Amino acid sequence: MILITGATGNLGRETINFLLKKIPSSEISALIRNPDKAEDLKHKGIKLHKGDYNDYDSLIKAFKGIDKLLLISSNDFVNRVNQHINVINAAKENGVKHIYYTSGARTIDNKEIPGVKDHLETEQYLENSGINYTILKNNLYIENLPMYLGEKVLETGIYFPGTGKVAFASRTDMAEATANLLVSNEVSEKTYNFSNTEAVDFNDIASILTKITGKKIDYIEVEPNIYREQLTKIGIPTPVINLRIGFGSLFKGGFLNTPNSALEEILGHKTINVEEFLKKFYLK
Ligand code: NAP
């Protein structure tokens, strides 16, 4: 029996849909917090377990009889290492044989780099847990590109506080590859880098947008302080501004410049690239 956590989130739900093409629903369980969000999964015959990463007892109940567990990293950025540790401990207590963890792609293991600390600490805990494990180092989702580009990108161009090459990959491709690994009995590596085969920066993206829309679109790099001032004036909340400035420095540092063919090899087909995604999104 395979259990997927975060099953009512984007990656969890997509992974389950790919699993359903390979194994019967009776072999798939899901950890969910809110049954109202899981009606579709219930109708597909997935066994639902209500539980929360913060509630150890709920995890102990949910993981009974599970062989393989996909731990989807939490989206609670305050307490997520402890949440992940709860999942790993509960899995161990239940005799789960293999944990797959969705971590983050990166060029170096430096806890000072935004987003790295939680993943690194979870990976280290998992490595020392004594359970078989596979770490999936997911790069940033292509599907989130419009969020960085802004709603008016086609009118104003790309306005962002920093750029650098990032091997954005499709969440759908990651879900399919994860499902492939979950059903395989020959998972040879301890760590997989789920990135695209090519990395792009905002200048490349501006050129792609220019090509596909026929409108000249430029990337304008803004000083973080000026960016903060301008966005504050138009009422953008401070945490959102901080997040974007954080991404700007992450991109600029090249920490997500991890192009790789592992995803394509596991998929057995080409990955969705940035141009394909942008065409689908902006020319719909
Ligand atoms: P998502 O749609 O936000 O899904 C996160 C899932 O985690 C949700 O199902 C959520 O449950 C569940 N969850 C959160 N806290 C939990 C808790 N305390 N107990 C049990 N379940 C909990 O995110 P996603 O798009 O699937 O991405 C998966 C993960 O990748 C994210 O959680 C985040 O860590 C990371 N991420 C990666 C990128 C990227 O670009 N690579 C971008 C954003 C996030 P509910 O459905 O009940 O809310």
Residue to substitute in 75, 168, 194 for testing ligand 1 pocket (most ligand atoms within 8 angstroms of CB): 75
Query: Does residue 79 have its Cβ closer than 6 Å to ligand 1?
Result: no
| Close Cβ partners of 111 (under 8 Å, ≥ 6 residues apart) | 117, 120
The per-residue pLDDT string of the chain (284 residues; one tens digit each, 9 = 90 and over) reads 999 999 999 999 999 999 999 999 999 999 999 999 999 999 999 999 999 999 999 999 999 999 999 999 999 988 999 999 999 999 999 999 999 999 999 999 999 888 899 999 999 999 999 999 999 999 999 999 999 998 899 999 999 999 999 999 999 999 999 999 999 987 667 999 999 999 999 999 999 999 999 999 999 999 999 999 999 999 999 988 998 999 999 999 999 999 999 999 999 999 999 999 999 999 97
Nearest CA to ligand 1 atom 6: 6
Query: Does residue 196 have its Cβ closer than 6 Å to ligand 1?
Result: no
Query: Does residue 115 have its Cβ closer than 6 Å to ligand 1?
Result: no
Q: Look at strands 219-221 and 158-160 and give their pairing.
A: parallel
- Closest ligand 1 atom to Cα of 33: 47
- Closest ligand 1 atom to Cα of 104: 41
- Measured between alpha carbons, how far is 247 from 195 in angstroms, rounded to an integer? 17
Q: Report whether 118 contacts 77 (CB < 8 A).
A: yes
Say which DSSP state 147 is in. Answer: H
- How many helices (H) and strands (E) would you count in the chain? 13, 9
Report the separation in Å between the CA atom of 73 and the middle of ligand 1, taken as the mean of its atom positions. 6
| Close Cβ partners of 144 (under 8 Å, ≥ 6 residues apart) | none
pLDDT of residue 27: 98
Find tokens 């719909």 and name the residue. Answer: 284
pLDDT of residue 249: 93
For the chain, give the number of residues.
284
Report the separation in Å between the CA atom of 110 and the middle of ligand 1, taken as the mean of its atom positions. 23
59 to each of 24, 39, 62, 206, 265, how far by Cα in Å? 23, 21, 5, 45, 33
Copy the structure tokens of residue 53.
């990463």
Report the separation in Å between the CA atom of 215 and the middle of ligand 1, taken as the mean of its atom positions. 36
